[in-house]
Structure 1
Amino acid sequence: MKLFIATLSTETNTFCTMPTAMSGFQEYFLRHGTATQEPPNLMTEALHVWREKAEALDWQVVESLTAIAEPAGPTTRACYDALSGEILSDLADCGGADIILLQLHGAMVSEHIEDCEGDILARVRAQCPDATVGVSLDLHSHLTDKMLEASDLIVHFREYPHDDASACATELFDLAQRTYAGEITPRMAFFDTRMVNLYLTKAGAMKEFVAEMAATQTNPGVLSVSLSHGFPWADVKDVGARMLVITDDHPDMAALLAEWLGRRFFDLREDVTTDYLPIRDALNKVGTRPGLCVLADMGDNSGGGAPGDATHVLEAMLARGLTNFASGLFWDPGVVRICQDAGVGSRLTVRLGGKTGVVSGNPIDLNVTVMGIETGLGQHLGTGLEPMGTVVWLRLKGEIDLLVNDLRVQVYHPEAFEQVGIRLAEKSVVVVKSLFHFYGPFSQISDHIFQVASPGGTQPAFQNIALTKRKLPYWPAVAQPFADPARDLDAPKSSRSTANSVQ
């Protein structure tokens, strides 16, 4: 038995002016068949799981490319062709495989291909028509007909923040093994819920809905249930949340169940979405209760393709005269270089942020002391350790501490601050440039957390995003995108069977 595994992952914000090029993969994570020789991160956890399980069964494992880049604009043609070509070349060189498992993102867009994952899977299928092909996807994916037609199995992460990558990898492996052995015949179907938004799964109605999906998955004949949340800052025709169901040789059941769950999710639309505060309202919350207050600078989340150098929240806090707070991570390689040259202990005037474009706001001139410079640090996202690049700790008058780095990455964990020497327990406020991934670890140190609808490349104003390619109306841009809920059915899409027929 031969297993082929690979990873190609980046999330594309089509409104971002910074292209994703080979340098983005090189500085974040690029390995040519050796990723499982290193500790796992979020997008390599699956490879570790698959290798371990396969080797326990004495299977031959062929590990190909692992390429991960922080989200930005569309991937350049040359970069995409080189990376996807390497995977296909490795697959050809090893003579194909019985089972092919890929960890992809699901929201990768290149200059010339809107559905990169569908393209990769179609080329894999053409090259190995008889193989069992499975793919694990981030839940912020654009689930497409092409993906279903070219694969046997698709499993999404179900949690946001993503702390279930290993569990999903295990599920996919087990289903692929059973499929190849002829024990099951997967049939997939999805339903477009006509929703474009973000959904935090750790509390409230969304947590309950994830549990409802898990309960549904235990029904006879149901193999897997997952929800593609979609990635809202992508102007592609398949943007939006889609419910996916896999059954054992029951395509009609898959379609009906996908629609039933999808409409159930739509009915919960108001309950499963989060309220986001304008900057002014969020700052009014500061000091209203004892302990650390956490503010999420949602509009400048580099994990969604924002630059990471926006100054809107910092400028407002300084204008109010707030003190004793921490904020980061600011992506500003120029400031990092200046501080490296000056050295720890230096007192400088630096021009921070606001350099990438209009969405980043104004650069701010600050008198700072360089408190520390660290290279090679990481922060945990689940069990994986994500790189931080070179990190500089700057201190302003009033016990204001800022983290600046040269690698675009969002804040995942309090250790991003703590390990350089910033003691969050002594702060009144910490501002994290992140959407939701910070939530779990920071909720362990604060019960005073607010999502801030700040301006920037990932501002959560979903009704205003200029989605020109989506054909069907969607909520919240339209109050009722199903004109007649009783008759206006967006028919669920179903997939190929293991016999290569389209259901």
Structure 2
Amino acid sequence: MRILIAMMKHETNTFSPIKADWKRFQDWGAHLGENALKAYEGTGMPFGAYVELARAMGAEIVTPVAAEAMPSGPVTEEAYNRMAEPILEAVRSGVDAAMLDLHGAMVAEHTDDGEGTLLEKIREIDPDLPIAVTLDLHCNLTDKMVRNCTALIGYKTYPHVDMYEVGKQIGKVLIDAMDGKVTPVMSWGNAPLLSQTLRQGTDDEPMATLIRLCREAEKEPGVLAATAFGGFALADIRDSGNSVIVVTDGDQKKADEVRDRILAKAWELKEDFIYQHTPLKEQVAKAKTMTEGPVLLLDHADNCGSGATQDVMTVIEEVLNQGLEDVAVAAVWDPAAVQEMQKAGIGNKITLKLGGKTDMPSIGEVGEPLTVTGTVKTLTNGEWIVRGPMYTGVKVFMGPTAVLDTGNMEIVIVSNHHEPWDTGVFTSVGIQPEYKRYLILKSRIHYRAGFAPIGKATLTLDGKGVTTSDNNLLRYEKVRRPIYPLDLLNEA
């Protein structure tokens, strides 16, 4: 038995000016062949779960590639092919099954459906190959993805702390199908709903209700997997938005019924999927009155974990202007600033034009650096291993990293984009976040994986950036219409 296990992941923000070229995947960690196996075996990723299942079967494991990059603009065709071709070549060489760790919102220069295109090409080579697929909760599900695999599932948590579990669940379905124990059939559909990522936390309503319905459905006889995808609204493609997929053991009618039940609830809750804004100055002023820390301040419009530039200084400037003290920031992307701090050396004072290096034409914004003065506190290579519940065991490469201490604020400055979902973003540079009064995090929901246990309160700060939750700033051209909230739809 030869089992192909591969990872090919990118969440594409089509409004982002950051290019997803091959170097961006290498910066995160693009591994080929045996190096892919070494990098992800034993981790809390679907890839790790697949390997464990394959080893238990005594199968020969083929790992052509494991590649991921932080979200950004469309993937270049070259980068896409560097990931896809090793997978296709492995299929050509002959395998008995494939277990794929994908995302579901990959847009490339030559295709709006990166995952569907890959799966279709696999099926062209081997039409009967058993294929299991895990997808991110923010997947924009397409018919091409579903038609070209055997069984498909998505994460049920955001932050994504169940990646290993769903990988094991769908991998087991595939193995049982190969053994003749089950006959997977799938039913999927989407709602005319373009919900916002900031409203998709699975500990919160309305997403909590949809996840509960999925878990309840999986307890019903014959239901092998049920997934409610929040979708990724910042990918302007036809199929963006909320969707549902159900896998049953040979019962198409049951799959359709469960699908329709969950989709109907998503539509019923549509208004709750839209974020309500509060003026930035008002929120920072509110934060200043909070005495017990850490207070988590979310600079969510500049979240590189959804494709933002991570160098917008709007929120940081307002916090400094209002005089908040004992603040730590994770993180500002500015490789040039890091180089200046390296030249200055630890303990020396420096004035920087920090951030604001990237224009954002899709929302009509130009980069605006902020002049800050402080002391170079720390310099590191930016490498550390995640010990928290999300991406457990995975090595992080922030690139050359520095900490600037302004007196009131310690700013972590990185050379590679990295969303702060684990406290290691601070502890790796000598900051103990649990003792800070305020933590500014360029994150939306993933911060909860590492920081929810220590945060005493959380405020969303509506700054600028291409992960904005203000639909008035985004020009959609490809998404199917009509769709809520871009169009007001009747209940019927």
CA distance in 2 between partners of 1:464 and 1:172 (Å): 38
1:370 partner SS: strand
User: Quick one: which amino acid aligns to residue 220 of structure 2?
Assistant: N
2:416 matched residue in structure 1:
407
1:82 matched residue in structure 2:
82
1:233 partner SS: coil
**1:41–1:205 distance in 2 versus 1, CA, 3 Å:** farther
Q: Which moved more, 1:427-436 or 1:267-276?
A: 267-276
**1:90–1:46 distance in 2 versus 1, CA, 3 Å:** same
Q: Does 1:393 align with 2:403?
A: yes
Offset of residue 239 of structure 1: 0.4
Alignment coverage as a number of residue pairs:
479
Gaps of 5+ in 2: none
Offset of residue 268 of structure 1: 2.1
User: Quick one: which amino acid aligns to residue 393 of structure 1?
Assistant: V
Offset of residue 16 of structure 1: 1.2
User: Quick one: which amino acid aligns to residue 376 of structure 2?
Assistant: V
Of 427, 445, 448, 2:436 maps to 427
1:285 matched residue in structure 2:
286
Offset of residue 47 of structure 1: 1.9
1:123 matched residue in structure 2:
121
2:269 matched residue in structure 1:
268
User: Quick one: which amino acid aligns to residue 179 of structure 1?
Assistant: A
CA contact (8 A) 1:133 1:153 kept: yes
1:377 matched residue in structure 2:
384
Q: Does 1:192 align with 2:190?
A: yes
Give percent identity, aligned residues only: 28
CA distance in 2 between partners of 1:372 and 1:259 (Å): 54
2:481 partner SS: coil
CA contact (8 A) 1:311 1:363 kept: yes
1:234 matched residue in structure 2:
235
User: Quick one: which amino acid aligns to residue 349 of structure 1?
Assistant: T
1:453 matched residue in structure 2:
462
CA distance in 1 between partners of 2:277 and 2:248 (Å): 37
CA contact (8 A) 1:16 1:73 kept: yes
1:258 matched residue in structure 2:
259
CA contact (8 A) 1:310 1:360 kept: no
Offset of residue 479 of structure 1: 3.4
CA distance in 2 between partners of 1:267 and 1:107 (Å): 24
CA offset digits 1:49-94 (Å, max 9, x no partner): 111221122122111111111111111112212321121112223x
CA contact (8 A) 2:29 2:67 kept: yes
CA contact (8 A) 2:15 2:466 kept: yes
1:392 partner SS: strand
CA offset digits 1:135-171 (Å, max 9, x no partner): 1111111100101111111110111000000000110
**1:194–1:388 distance in 2 versus 1, CA, 3 Å:** same
2:64 partner SS: strand
CA distance in 2 between partners of 1:281 and 1:213 (Å): 38
CA distance in 1 between partners of 2:13 and 2:299 (Å): 17
Of 316, 326, 334, 2:318 maps to 316
Offset of residue 372 of structure 1: 0.5
How do 1:53-92 and structure 2 match up within 5 A? 53-92=53-92
How do 1:351-366 and structure 2 match up within 5 A? 351-358=353-360, 359=365, 361-366=367-372
CA distance in 2 between partners of 1:170 and 1:452 (Å): 37
Gaps of 5+ in 1: 486-503
TM-score, normalised by the number of residues in structure 1: 0.91
CA contact (8 A) 1:12 1:234 kept: yes
User: Quick one: which amino acid aligns to residue 55 of structure 1?
Assistant: R
CA contact (8 A) 1:20 1:76 kept: yes
CA contact (8 A) 2:41 2:51 kept: no
CA contact (8 A) 1:369 1:395 kept: yes
1:343 matched residue in structure 2:
345
TM-score, normalised by the number of residues in structure 2: 0.93
CA distance in 2 between partners of 1:443 and 1:139 (Å): 20
**1:393–1:317 distance in 2 versus 1, CA, 3 Å:** same
2:63 partner SS: strand
